[in-house]
Amino acid sequence: MDEIKKKIIKIAEKVADDQGVELFDLELLGRGKLLLRVIIDSEEGVSLNDCENFSRSFEALLDVENTIPASYTLEVSSPGLDRPLRGLEDFKKHVDKLARIITAEKIENQNLFIGRISDVNGNFVKLSVHGRELDIPFEKISRARLEVELKCQKSSATS
């Protein structure tokens, strides 16, 4: 299964590159009928059209190359608004965004932090929590994701 997954990733990366998106994640799940879940992303975000175009091209190449030796279902989506943050580069891309970070070890007597990413310096993620700056060592982060922020606009009523 690992060899098949490597071939699938190589094809997915080629299609992503051709279409100006990045391969964010790929999972091959199940036995018998397989589920191939692909998550794509881009700086501008991913539209339904992007997912459809990627899906068509990717599935065509998979079928031509006969990469998956069983029946499968293909799912293509974006990472979503509450996308996981996995590497320092992800944190750098999302400076000024609200994030939830869970650490493997307690820092200042807690291991869950919700705050705004203010900087990434070396191997530290600087998080602004309630007006305080907190340096979190990247190696202590066990999970992190963006928090969904809903912004309300004030409407002005005219009489």
In a domain, 122, yes or no: yes
**Domain final position from 54, 77, 100:** 77
Give the mean pLDDT of the chain.
Answer: 91
**Domain final position from 55, 77, 99:** 77
The predicted model gives 11-31 an average pLDDT of 94
Q: Which CATH number goes with the domain that contains 120?
A: 2.30.30.180
Instruction: Say if residue 63 is in the same domain as residue 126.
Output: no
CA angle 58, 63, 61 (to 5 degrees): 35
Instruction: Say if residue 67 is in the same domain as residue 12.
Output: yes
**Which H, E and C letters describe 97-134, residue by residue?**
CEEEEEEEEEECCEEEEEEEEEEEECCEEEEEECCEEE
In a domain, 61, yes or no: yes
**What are the Cα distances from residue 30, in Å, to 8, 39, 42, 129, 156?**
15, 17, 28, 41, 53
Q: What does the pLDDT read at residue 58?
A: 96
Q: What does the pLDDT read at residue 157?
A: 57
The predicted model gives 63-90 an average pLDDT of 90
Banded model confidence at residue 37, pLDDT cuts 50, 70, 90: very high
Domain count, the chain: 2
- State how far the Cα of 141 lies from the Cα of 157, in Å rounded to an integer: 46
- State how far the Cα of 88 lies from the Cα of 115, in Å rounded to an integer: 16
User: Can you read off the two tokens belonging to residue 130?
Assistant: 């309630």
Q: Model pTM?
A: 0.74
Instruction: Say if residue 70 is in the same domain as residue 7.
Output: yes
Q: Which range of residues forms the domain containing residue 20?
A: 2-77
Q: What does the pLDDT read at residue 94?
A: 92
Instruction: Say if residue 73 is in the same domain as residue 128.
Output: no
The packing angle between helices 48-65 and 2-19, to 10°, is 130
- State how far the Cα of 125 lies from the Cα of 143, in Å rounded to an integer: 13
Name the 3-class secondary structure at 77.
strand
Instruction: Say if residue 50 is in the same domain as residue 93.
Output: no
Q: What does the pLDDT read at residue 159?
A: 47
